Amino acid sequence: MSSNLLRRLGRNFSVRLSLWYTSIFTLSAAVLFLLVYLLLASALQRKDREVIESHLKEYSALYQSGGVGALRSWIARSGEARKEKSLFVRVVGPFNNVLFLTAPEDWIQFEPPTLEFGLPRGVVWVRIPKDEERDFTLAARRFSDGSILQVGRSTNSREMILQPFRRNFLAVTIPILLLGFIGGVLFAYRAMQPMREIVSTAQSIIDTGDLSRRVPLRASEDELDQLARLFNRMLEKNQSLIKSMRESLDNVAHDLRTPLARMRGSAEMALRSPPDSAQLKEALADCVEESERVLTILRTLMDVAEAESGAINLSLQKLDVCSLVREVVDVYAGVAEEKKISITTDFAAPCEAVVDPARIRQVFANLLDNALKYTNEGGQINIQGAHDTSEVTLKFRDTGMGIPAEEQDRIWDRLYRGDKSRSQRGLGLGLSLVKAFVQAHHGRVEVASQVGQGSEFTVHLPA
Ligand code: ADP
């Protein structure tokens, strides 16, 4: 396997996940095995020692009460009937001289360790492996006269039981681990499918610039599918944002081109015609008017951007906002009269709120300007002001052309103009400015409208 492939496998999340899982599993299995192994080994040892210990006790009592003679005759008497034949019994005197010895056949060629006289009081155990199947287990006890009694017995080799256990553990565990690892990689690889889809969709969008690509969804509802769903929604949002940005850019370019082309036309005409100060003056006046229009578009766009980004500086003061509406109504009285539109107001005085008067006046002016623009001659406009403890509400109601339901969400977008509104003057920036300014005051604005019946714009400002 090349080092490149190994590196790639190491970076693969499914492989890494399975490796972690397998390592944890291996560690737990090893701890479990060790525990069972130790318990088994100690149980085997206990079982081996039980028989020897009981004989050691019995012979000790005999030796202490009747000496070597009593021990010899007891063993000779009961040797055949009981299993003492299989026991090694030796008494060693204080000078390491053997006082008594009886041993089974397989112990003959074996010299059990001669015990040091420094042997502590109590029982001392020795275990010596004999062959593959048997061990010698020996217990020794020192008496007060310096002699030592040894009792031994052949026991099943502990290794014979423990070794297959160890071998089988490895033989069973290694395939299980391998199977677990491979199965883990496969399952993790399958589970990570949505992640791979997300990566490949993102990559293909980066490579091709095609914003319409989406992550294929599965029916399940797990976290990764939710992530894929959210990712798609984000792509959807980004696509519509980029689309509206492009449209805005197109609209700005279009809206700037018209006044600039007019300016250029007036200037060219003035240059071509014979010098006549009246004509030149007219051309310059046209240029000033058109450049004013360009500046208004740019200023309004910057105001909206500033308010939307939260960087706007408001000069806040507590005042009666209805008085601001009255001021605006006065400014538009002439236009209303010209269009034979009646403007009525209905205020619960005083409607006090903390606002930047210049910005809020602009909000009311835009709403009233629209109501006048989109209401036919003889129509009516009514402005209501009300307040409660938490907010001031202002409603601008007109009996104009109304706004189709499908346009009502879009009228707040920068440079958006309704289909039927194109005959009227306008930049498509009035309502985006209204929304941005009202939101900068932590308020909100909403519309309710029916085509042919009229519209109602409601501004809520915190009191
Ligand atoms: P503009 O009036 O310059 O077109 P606005 O941002 O002020 O831009 O308004 C966006 C659109 O909302 C308008 O083009 C029009 O279609 C619609 N609109 C706004 N106010 C009204 C109203 N009072 N009655 C009907 N339509 C309206």
Name the percent of the chain lying above pLDDT 70.
94
User: 143 vs 325, which has greater pLDDT?
Assistant: 325
Contact by Cβ (8 Å): 367, 381: no
Residue 125: name the closest of 63, 65, 50 by CA: 50
pLDDT of residue 120: 63
User: 23 vs 423, which has greater pLDDT?
Assistant: 23
Q: How many CA atoms lie within 13 A of 421 on its CB side?
A: 23
Residue 462: name the closest of 374, 365, 306, 351 by CA: 351
pLDDT tier at 420, thresholds 50, 70, 90: confident
Q: What is the pLDDT of residues 21-66, one digit of tens each?
A: 888 888 888 898 889 888 988 888 888 788 888 889 999 999 989 8
Between the two ends of the chain, the Cα-to-Cα distance in Å is 73
Least confident of 94-108, 171-185, 231-245, 447-461: 94-108
**Is 90 exceeded by the pLDDT of residue 231?**
yes
Instruction: Provide φ and ψ at 372, rounded to 5°.
Output: -70, -40
pLDDT of residue 89: 87
Contact by Cβ (8 Å): 286, 266: yes
Cα(440)–Cα(461) distance, rounded to whole angstroms?
10
Give the other-Cβ count within 10 Å of 145's Cβ. 10
User: 112 vs 287, which has greater pLDDT?
Assistant: 287
Contact by Cβ (8 Å): 374, 338: no
pLDDT tier at 113, thresholds 50, 70, 90: low
Q: What is the pLDDT of residues 323-333, one digit of tens each?
A: 999 999 999 99
Output the residue whose Cα is nearest ligand 1's atom 8.
428
Ligand 1 binding site (Cβ under 6 Å of any ligand atom):
370-371, 374, 398, 400-403, 411, 416-418, 421, 426-432, 455
Name the percent of the chain lying above pLDDT 90.
37
Pocket residue to mutate for ligand 1, from 248, 416, 417, most atoms within 8 A of Cβ? 417
**Is 60 exceeded by the pLDDT of residue 4?**
yes
pLDDT of residue 453: 95
Atom of ligand 1 nearest to the CA of 454: 24
Radius of gyration for the chain, computed over Cα atoms and rounded to the nearest angstrom: 51
CA of 320 to the centre of ligand 1 (A): 27
The single residue listed with the structure tokens 């310096």 is: 146
Q: Residue 379: CB partners within 8 Å, gap ≥ 6?
A: 339, 341, 398, 399, 400, 454
Give the other-Cβ count within 10 Å of 300's Cβ. 20
CA of 291 to the centre of ligand 1 (A): 23
DSSP single-letter state for residue 116? P
> In this structure, what token pair is assigned to residue 328?
């605006």
pLDDT of residue 37: 83
Residue 320: name the closest of 375, 387, 260 by CA: 387
> In this structure, what token pair is assigned to residue 346?
């209905």
CA of 374 to the centre of ligand 1 (A): 7
Output the residue whose Cα is nearest ligand 1's atom 7.
430
pLDDT of residue 395: 97
pLDDT of residue 81: 47
Contact by Cβ (8 Å): 343, 381: yes
**Is 60 exceeded by the pLDDT of residue 340?**
yes
CA of 390 to the centre of ligand 1 (A): 29
